[in-house]
């Protein structure tokens, strides 16, 4: 690809951004393979932006994007789930109209790029669904000070009752100051100022500590300011933060120093009319509300990167989250030949994107753990390159974030992990119990995995029972696990409840994750229909999933 394009003259078709062209809401609805495409639109820069840095921001583009302004390459990005920004200051001006062209390349079948649950066949099948190509998250321009705040890592120090702020600036000069103000319900409760410098942190404590938790998802409002030597405000940014702590002691998880049992649900975040992109912000909020109403305290955001507003509502409403990447499709995760050139390039691509994802999402209090990979299936998991890759992903995650646990590979094959996770789709409670502790073992370990080292033990996927309400049944009613097809809601709840009993009574377990929140296309094992309508009244779901295990002492007495 050259660094220049002929002048843009417009394209024949229009698309509704940020919906992918495969979705009905895009106005295109093309579900064939789209390996390359162009976007074009005119740009006009407000006069008030003169003298400022002009940034073109993309929430996410799947998979590779190259941006041109008036035929000149402005920048590019690789990675379908990570946000990125392009500085177009030197290519645009308020006195002219410019042509913006975005060239997208999406070679899903290359085995080099992670794609998650996007189908590698023409149509959807099994647990693979409609593909996502190109822009699928919001695109916007903004004008900022040349001395603007680029980012700010916010670390809650729960035990000290303070926040640690580590800012990054586009540029700065001697004498400039970085200021932070904390507000609680609109009242100033803490502030601090430091010199603008590289790698220097600022600690600010509110007058009175108030924790963030699912029971009280309290968020402090934050105002960041960059000031020059005279005190003039050059840049001002508003944000928020939650004061909370997640840590591990032995084989148990703790939230804010209190024992935590995970009652999670698998959420794949697909939409009938938007695929990966929700039709509205309100619908993102409603999905979080549905999860909480059904009795869960958290969700695995599964095999894709969820948008900022989804995480915002989880922060605001108090939903715990394990954040993942769309790891399936990367050769490095499931290598057929450990020495293939594909191994090195796919590993590099994955690590590069994962680093950007963690950096972009790290400040959300709702995220209590990272799950970069899911269900690796190498033929020989003892192969050194695969094991090195997984170990590097784990180490990279912890180098960026030392405050949260990292589950290297959910389900199998685990190499280096803070959590021990299994996926067990058993047809009944007896089989689930047996597979949780085969031959009386503490955990379920597959051949070729690293040994269990005493981490918290999670049944990180179970259930998956198919139930299709009578009015929705047709000749092709989709599938669920174990070929079960439950006749009504009562049968579904009974099947779930008997397995929940096993999980709550198991003294080794620190939590579970039920598959799944909603149906997705041909997969009919959701607690809600694909259009988010109820299959079972939420109060009945809450009576099952809202249950906590008995206190440790009572469970120990029963075991004796």
Report the alpha-carbon distance of residue 327 to residue 83 in Å, rounded: 17
Whether 435 contacts 499, CB under 8 Å: no
Q: How many other β-carbons are positioned within 10 Å of the β-carbon of residue 46?
A: 11
DSSP secondary structure string for all residues of 455-500: --EEEEEEE---B--GGG--S---B-GGG--BSSHHHHHHHHHHHH
Whether residue 18 has a cis bond before it, omega within 30° of 0: yes
Which run of H or of E encompasses 428? none
**What pLDDT does residue 3 have?**
52
**Which phi and psi angles does 74 have, rounded to 5°?**
-100, -25
**What pLDDT does residue 443 have?**
85
Report the alpha-carbon distance of residue 523 to residue 477 in Å, rounded: 9
DSSP secondary structure string for all residues of 171-199: ---TT-EEEEEEEETTEEEEEEEEE--TT
**Which phi and psi angles does 521 have, rounded to 5°?**
50, -115
**What pLDDT does residue 1 have?**
39
Q: How many other β-carbons are positioned within 10 Å of the β-carbon of residue 469?
A: 14
Whether 210 contacts 218, CB under 8 Å: yes
**Which phi and psi angles does 245 have, rounded to 5°?**
-135, 135
Query: Which of 262, 261, 265 lies closest to 541, judged by CA?
Result: 265
**What pLDDT does residue 434 have?**
95
Structural domains present in the chain: 24-144 (2.60.120.260), 149-241 (2.60.40.10), 246-559 (3.20.20.80)
Per-residue pLDDT of the chain (560 residues; tens, 9 = 90+): 345 666 767 788 999 999 999 999 999 999 999 999 999 999 999 999 999 999 999 999 999 999 999 999 999 999 999 999 999 999 999 999 999 999 999 999 999 999 999 999 999 999 999 999 999 999 999 999 999 999 999 999 999 999 999 999 999 999 999 999 999 999 999 999 999 999 999 999 999 999 999 999 999 999 999 999 999 999 999 999 999 999 999 999 999 999 999 999 999 999 999 999 999 999 999 999 999 999 999 999 999 999 999 999 999 999 999 999 999 999 999 888 888 889 999 999 999 999 999 999 999 999 999 999 999 976 666 678 999 999 999 999 999 999 999 999 999 999 999 999 999 999 999 999 999 999 888 888 877 788 899 999 999 999 999 999 988 888 667 999 999 999 999 999 999 999 999 999 999 999 999 999 999 999 999 999 999 999 999 999 999 999 999 886 555 555 55
pTM exceeds 0.85, yes or no: yes
**What pLDDT does residue 320 have?**
98
**Which phi and psi angles does 557 have, rounded to 5°?**
-65, -40
């Amino acid at each position: 690809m050259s660094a220049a394009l002929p002048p843009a003259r417009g394209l024949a078709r229009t698309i509704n951004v940020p919906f992918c062209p495969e979705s009905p809401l895009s106005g295109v609805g093309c579900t064939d393979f789209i390996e390359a495409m162009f976007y074009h639109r005119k740009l006009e820069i407000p006069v008030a932006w003169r003298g400022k840095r002009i940034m073109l921001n993309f929430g996410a583009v799947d998979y590779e994007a190259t941006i041109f302004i008036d035929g000149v390459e402005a920048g590019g990005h690789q990675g379908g789930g990570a946000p990125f920004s392009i500085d177009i200051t030197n290519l645009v001006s308020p006195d002219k109209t410019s042509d913006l062209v975005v060239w997208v390349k999406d070679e899903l079948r290359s085995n080099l790029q992670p794609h998650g649950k996007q189908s590698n066949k023409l149509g959807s099948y099994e647990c693979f669904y409609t593909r996502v190509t190109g822009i699928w998250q919001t695109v916007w321009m903004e004008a900022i000070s040349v001395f603007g705040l680029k980012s700010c890592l916010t670390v809650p120090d729960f035990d000290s009752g303070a926040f640690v702020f580590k800012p990054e600036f586009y540029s700065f000069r001697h004498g400039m100051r970085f200021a932070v103000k904390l507000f609680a319900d609109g009242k100033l409760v803490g502030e601090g100022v430091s010199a603008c410098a590289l790698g220097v942190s600022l600690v600010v404590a509110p007058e009175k500590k108030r924790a963030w938790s699912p029971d009280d998802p309290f968020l402090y409002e934050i105002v960041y300011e960059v000031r020059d030597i005279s005190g003039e405000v050059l840049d001002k940014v508003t944000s928020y933060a939650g004061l909370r702590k997640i840590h591990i002691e032995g084989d148990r998880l703790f939230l804010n120093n209190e024992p935590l049992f995970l009652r999670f649900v698998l959420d794949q975040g697909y939409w009938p009319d938007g695929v990966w992109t929700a039709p509205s912000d309100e619908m993102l909020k409603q999905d979080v509300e549905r999860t909480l109403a059904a009795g869960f305290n958290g969700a695995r955001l599964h095999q894709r990167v969820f948008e900022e507003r989804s995480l915002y509502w989880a922060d605001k409403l108090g939903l715990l989250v394990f954040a993942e990447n769309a790891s399936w499709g990367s050769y490095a995760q499931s290598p057929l030949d450990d020495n293939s050139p594909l191994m090195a390039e796919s590993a590099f691509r994955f690590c590069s994107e994962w680093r950007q994802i963690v950096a972009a999402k790290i400040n959300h209090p709702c995220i209590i753990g990272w799950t970069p990979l899911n269900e690796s299936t190498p033929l020989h998991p003892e192969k050194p390159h695969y094991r090195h890759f997984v170990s590097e992903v784990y180490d990279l995650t912890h180098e960026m974030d030392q405050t949260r646990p990292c589950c290297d590979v959910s389900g199998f094959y685990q190499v280096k992990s803070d959590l021990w996770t299994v996926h067990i789709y058993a047809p009944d409670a007896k089989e689930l119990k047996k597979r949780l502790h085969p031959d009386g073992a503490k955990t379920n370990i597959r051949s070729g995995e690293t040994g269990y080292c005493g981490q918290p033990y999670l049944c990180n996927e179970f259930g998956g029972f198919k139930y299709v309400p009578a009015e929705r049944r047709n000749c092709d009613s989709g599938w669920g696990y174990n070929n079960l097809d439950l006749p009504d809601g009562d049968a579904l709840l009974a099947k779930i409840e008997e397995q929940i009993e096993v999980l709550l009574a198991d003294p080794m377990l620190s939590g579970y994750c039920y598959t799944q929140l909603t149906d997705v296309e041909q997969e009919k094992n959701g607690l809600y229909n694909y259009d988010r309508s109820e299959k079972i009244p939420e109060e009945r779901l809450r009576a099952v999933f809202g249950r906590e295990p008995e206190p440790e002492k009572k469970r120990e007495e029963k075991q004796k």
